[in-house]
Amino acid sequence: MKSPQHDKLSSIESIQECLRHENYICNKKIATTLYLAHHLGKPILVEGPAGVGKTELAKTTASFLDLPLIRMQCYEGLDESKALYEWKYGKQLLYTQILRDKLSDVIAGADGLAESMARLHQYDDIFFSTHFLEPRPLLKALQQDDGAVLLVDEIDKSDDEFEAFLMEILSDFQVSVPEIGTIRAITKPFVFLTSNNTRELSEALKRRCLHLFISLPDPQLEREIIRVRVPDVSEQLNIQLVSFVQQLRELDIKKIPSISETIDWARVLLLLHADKLDPDLVRESLHIILKFEEDIKVAEDNLLEMTGKALKETVR
């Protein structure tokens, strides 16, 4: 099967190029994983610290492949009726009301209860047909003609039962609806699962997926990301702020800043018309990259030293 997406996914380099085109800078590892996922037809399980671009990866993939992104946010208590399908009860009721007259036509002339029943049986499945099926994200993803990008976000937040229920979709790209039968994917969707590792996922789920671990980027990659995401930031400021953030990550703090925080900070500094870091500026805007009072305190203790080091980066 040749789809228009196929060309874009034909080589690792072209994937990397396409992602870059969509303002998503990634290393070769991520591109390789996408390539494998497409050619082996497997879902990707993405793990990594919060804010390294796990969800963003799925979004970007959808936009460069020109496919609809179907997103399902997981939470505790998520079940089939919210994830897969539900019957349109209202519509079923309404139709039975409207068709009540027709009902008497159908049974008219029937002799006795048994015969009316037999006649009704000829129609029994109309109310449980696809017309009355309300597709939820998972089913919707399978029904797309050209395929879709399905993002199952934060799978670790859902229950074990839901995880088990996902298996059928992940391995065979099909779901079973008892009243209708098995629904197969028209085109295999591109599936992303993200996890923040709040609990260990089951072996069975992991086995069915490719496992991608996105770690925090090295300075060079991070600078490039800032350059693409916040293009108006001067090169000098870019180098300094990345160096500062990288130093922050070395400290003993509760929540280390990730890429999204670096990007936010860059935007804020841009708004403040800063073209280089200075200690006061950093102190005032520290709450954008650090989210805990204790962390800010620790950072403030080391602030002068770290800013100095960051400034030195550009002198060299």
Partner 1 sequence: MEQVLRDFIVALRASGVRISVAESIDAMNAAKLIGYSDRNVLKDSLSVVLAKSYYEKELFDSCFSRFFSFEAFSHEKGNPLDNPSIEQQDGNSLLTQMILAGDTSALAASMREAALDLNVNQMQYFTQKGIYIHRILRHMGQENLRRDIQRLCQEDTEYSREVATMLTNAEDYLLENVRDYVEQQYDLFAGSLEEELLENYLKEIKLSNLEQRDLYRMHAIVHKMVKRLNDIHSKRRRTFRRGQLDFRKTLRSNVANQGMLFDIKWKKKKIDQPNIVAICDVSSSVSAVARFLLIFLYSLNKAIAKIRTFIFCSNLVEVSNIFDDYPVEEAVAKLHSGTGLGVVLGPTDYGQAFRDFHEQWPNIVTNNTTVLILGDARNNYTNPETRLLKAIQQRCKRLIWLNPESPSSWGTGDSEMHRYRPYCHVAKECNTVNHLERVVDSILDR
One residue of 110, 210, 281, 296 binding partner 1 per CB under 8 A: 210
Nearer of residues 131 and 249 to partner 1, judged by Cβ: 249
CB of 256 vs partner 1, minimal distance in Å: 15
The DSSP bridge pattern shows strands 210-213 and 190-195 to be unpaired
Does position 258 bind partner 1 by CB under 8 A?
no
CB of 78 vs partner 1, minimal distance in Å: 15
Stretch in the footprint of partner 1 (CB under 8 A) among 25-33, 68-76, 237-245, 302-310: 25-33
Q: Coil, strand, or helix at residue 257?
A: coil
CB of 22 vs partner 1, minimal distance in Å: 21
Per the DSSP assignment, residues forming a β-bridge with 218 are none
CA dihedral 306, 310, 312, 313 (to 10 degrees): 140
d(CA 239, CA 220): 9
Stretch in the footprint of partner 1 (CB under 8 A) among 60-68, 104-112, 211-219, 269-277: 211-219
Per the DSSP assignment, residues forming a β-bridge with 73 are 153
Does position 157 bind partner 1 by CB under 8 A?
no
Nearer of residues 168 and 264 to partner 1, judged by Cβ: 168
One residue of 22, 36, 99, 300 binding partner 1 per CB under 8 A: 36
Stretch in the footprint of partner 1 (CB under 8 A) among 210-218, 221-229, 231-239, 247-255: 210-218
Nearer of residues 12 and 268 to partner 1, judged by Cβ: 12
Does position 309 bind partner 1 by CB under 8 A?
no
Helix axes 12-21, 54-65, angle to 10 degrees: 100
Stretch in the footprint of partner 1 (CB under 8 A) among 57-65, 68-76, 201-209, 253-261: 201-209
Stretch in the footprint of partner 1 (CB under 8 A) among 97-105, 136-144, 196-204, 223-231: 196-204
Stretch in the footprint of partner 1 (CB under 8 A) among 40-48, 120-128, 252-260, 268-276: 40-48
Does position 88 bind partner 1 by CB under 8 A?
no
Nearer of residues 45 and 269 to partner 1, judged by Cβ: 45
Does position 33 bind partner 1 by CB under 8 A?
yes
Site string for partner 1, 212-231 (x = CB under 8 A): xx------------------
Q: Which helix (H) or strand (E) holds 149?
A: strand 149-153
d(CA 15, CA 234): 28
Does position 206 bind partner 1 by CB under 8 A?
yes
Q: What is the residue type of 148? A: A
> What counts of helices (H) and strands (E) characterise the chain?
17, 9
What residues contact residue 138 under an 8 Å CB cut-off, 6+ apart? 72, 83, 84, 150, 169, 175
One residue of 12, 221, 251, 296 binding partner 1 per CB under 8 A: 12
d(CA 265, CA 246): 13
Q: What is the residue type of 196? A: N
d(CA 19, CA 218): 18
270 CB neighbour count, 10 Å cutoff: 16
d(CA 160, CA 209): 17
DSSP letter assigned to residue 190: E
Which residues make up the interface to partner 1 (CB under 8 A)?
12, 28-29, 32-33, 35-36, 39-40, 42, 45, 47, 197, 200, 203, 206-207, 209-213
